[in-house]
Amino acid sequence: MKNFQFYRYILQYKGKLLFLLIINLISLIFTLSLPYVTKFIIDKAYKNKNIKLFVVSVVIGIIIFLVSTILNFIGKNISTLFKKQVIFDITTNLFRHLQQLPLSFYDQHSSGVFVQRLNNDVRRLSEFLVEIPVGLVVNLIGLVIIFVILFYLDLRIALVCLVAAPLNFIYPYFSGYKLKMFLEKEMTKVQNISKLLVDVFVQMRLVKAFNNEEIEIERFEKNFAERIHLEKKIGKISNFFDLSSSFISKVISSILTLYCGYLVMKKRLSLGNFSAIVLYINHAVAKVKGIADIVKNISENSVLQTRIRNIFDIEPPIYKDLNYYGIKQAKIEFKDVVFGYNSSKLIFNGISFVIEPLSKIALIGPSGCGKSTILSLILRLYEIQKGSILIDGVDIRDIGVGSLREQIGIALQQPLLRDETIAFNILYGKKDATKEEMIWASKIACAYDFIMELKDCFDTFVGERGVRLSEGQKQRIALARAIIKNPKILILDEAISSVDLETEEKIIENIKNNLLGSTVIIVSHRLSVIKKMDLIYFLESPKKIEVGTHQKLLLENQKYKNFLSSKNKV
Ligand SMILES: Nc1ncnc2c1ncn2[C@@H]1O[C@H](COP(=O)(O)OP(=O)(O)OP(=O)(O)O)[C@@H](O)[C@H]1O
Ligand SMILES: [Mg+2]
């Protein structure tokens, strides 16, 4: 995406844009006609002592003034509404785009970055997108009109103004690059502070538990001081910008005013012309300042565009547009799968195994061996580099992520609850589920009884990340969320590690008795769970997975035996 392509967001509202320009231009013409009316009042009505003409021209002047004020007001209103529309369009588009980016993208970026881009950067960018073109057109046309009138009124003065006007842009031109550089640094700093803030507030429990408030305050102060330092530099450049963009024109306009005064005294310039010229020069100074401000905004705008464009430029994965595929038996097959989160370090180097339909299996292996990775690959959260993963004999790349993920239920060790009610969290697994289904799922997950004991039952708010619940309670809600859609494949990744043994036993029994049509994969280090499963899949190495019943593996596989005994589980 090129920077200028952001302008398509305003060009799609051609009518509004044109209307805004027309209103501004009419207002400009009215404003610029006022000095001429003044000249007329002085030279024609006042000089000839023509009261009637005087009154008529003053009334015309007032009307012009009122109309230009009203048009200005309307223009500002349209501009505000227009900007809000553009903010809405870009923000929602960016959010949509972010939703489509793969998980690997989020593995590399902190959430504070996106909060900053969505809440601040897009807002400022959208305002500039409207202000810059409209401001440039109106100010430039205004300057042209002023020069034409000045040429008509007095050639020499017009020529002096014409030569002086570009001088105002010398400093802005040369400091634009510096300003841009500092703005880039400042925005990166602001983003890092957002990252830090999100991180520290989300982890407040950790900060308190380790008595690290002072360290966090120091870290924040250090970062914030750096930001303020950059802001001071930007402020300085910006103030010089403002000074230089009006100083020269103000000096020249003062000299010209004196010179015109001299011409009036020498009777070489009428009083009316004098007033009009002074007023037009003031308008010209304002327009020059307006253009210099826009030059300044263009610097900031370009930094913002690059930041937002960098996200838009990341291509979301292109999934085939496939029809809904209903998983029938849920037979899962890994065929020579090669995968690494990055190509330099492979996690699997040609692994193959089959999970038979409707079986209830345990996936085990040492920490970091790749159990969670296998589960992510079944959900197609990452793309494999070689080989294939099949469900019912169909490559998951031919199933379509939508229908694939819709038929898989997953619960993780970290329950990842939303800061909403229990009902919201459970229904997150199936938006159109009935209350009966919600109760059914929470009963299987052994969550129903404790939910009913809460003051607001299913309507109880769980707090951020579920802080108002115990770990075991959170896990059971997350489990109910996975179960509610009665998935064809149910995946539990250490998902009941925090519940007591008795509850755990009950949950596994419930799953076995109620999810008869599902293939169930449970990752667990607990022997009590492992023993209850039909088959054990023991991930021995990046290439090899051993499959068998617990008893068979204990007898035949020394590595399995060592693994369990090292964890005191036999
Ligand atoms: N998002 C990621 N980006 C890069 N590397 C990752 C990512 N997730 C996991 N890894 C790496 O992949 C390897 C396998 O991790 P995985 O989480 O699958 O292990 P695991 O068997 O589930 O371990 P545990 O029992 O501790 O949960 C590890 O070496 C880990 O460092
Ligand atoms: Mg894991």
Across all residues in the chain, what is the average pLDDT?
Answer: 88
CATH code at position 454: 3.40.50.300
Ligand 1 closest atom vs CA 103? 1
CATH code at position 78: 1.20.1560.10
- Same domain? 459 vs 533: no
- Same domain? 46 vs 146: yes
Ligand 1 closest atom vs CA 413? 27
Domain termination site, one of 437, 452, 486: 486
| pTM assigned to the model | 0.81
Instruction: Report how far ligand 1's centroid is from the alpha carbon of 355 (Å).
Output: 21
Please choose from 344, 351, 369 the residue to mutate so as to test ligand 1's pocket, defined by most ligand atoms within 8 A of CB. 369
Instruction: Report how far ligand 1's centroid is from the alpha carbon of 414 (Å).
Output: 14
pLDDT at 66 over 90: yes
> Higher-confidence residue: 367 or 441?
441
Please choose from 334, 339, 341 the residue to mutate so as to test ligand 1's pocket, defined by most ligand atoms within 8 A of CB. 341
Domain count of the chain? 3
Does the residue 319 lie in any domain?
Answer: no
pLDDT at 569 over 50: no
Q: Please count the other Cβ atoms lying within 10 Å of the Cβ belonging to residue 43.
A: 17
Instruction: Report how far ligand 1's centroid is from the alpha carbon of 541 (Å).
Output: 14
Domain termination site, one of 468, 486, 504: 486
> What average pLDDT does this structure show over 504-522?
91
Please choose from 106, 109, 346, 347 the residue to mutate so as to test ligand 1's pocket, defined by most ligand atoms within 8 A of CB. 347
Range of the domain at 290: 3-312
Give the model's pLDDT for residue 2.
Answer: 59
- Joined together, the tokens standing for residue 7 give 């302008």
- Same domain? 22 vs 84: yes
Instruction: Report how far ligand 1's centroid is from the alpha carbon of 368 (Å).
Output: 5
- Same domain? 82 vs 137: yes
Domain termination site, one of 444, 465, 486: 486
Does the residue 317 lie in any domain?
Answer: no
What residues are in contact with ligand 1 under a 6 Å CB criterion?
A: 107, 341, 347, 365, 367-373
Long-range contacts of residues 44-50, Cβ cutoff 8 Å, at least 24 apart = 44/272, 47/271, 47/272
- Same domain? 264 vs 193: yes
Cβ-based burial of 108 (10 A; exposed 0-12, middle 13-18, buried ≥19): exposed
pLDDT at 28 over 60: yes
| Alpha helices, DSSP H, located in 454-495 | 471-483
- Same domain? 171 vs 271: yes
- Same domain? 454 vs 498: no
Does the residue 140 lie in any domain?
Answer: yes
Contact assessment for residue 522 and residue 355, using Cβ atoms and an 8 Å cutoff: no
Which ligand is nearest to the Cα of residue 348, counting in written order?
1
Q: Which residue lies with its CA nearest to atom 11 of ligand 1?
A: 368
Does the residue 88 lie in any domain?
Answer: yes
Closest CA to 142 of 61, 34, 65: 34
- Same domain? 365 vs 432: no
pLDDT at 542 over 80: no
Does the residue 460 lie in any domain?
Answer: yes
Ligand 1 closest atom vs CA 365? 21
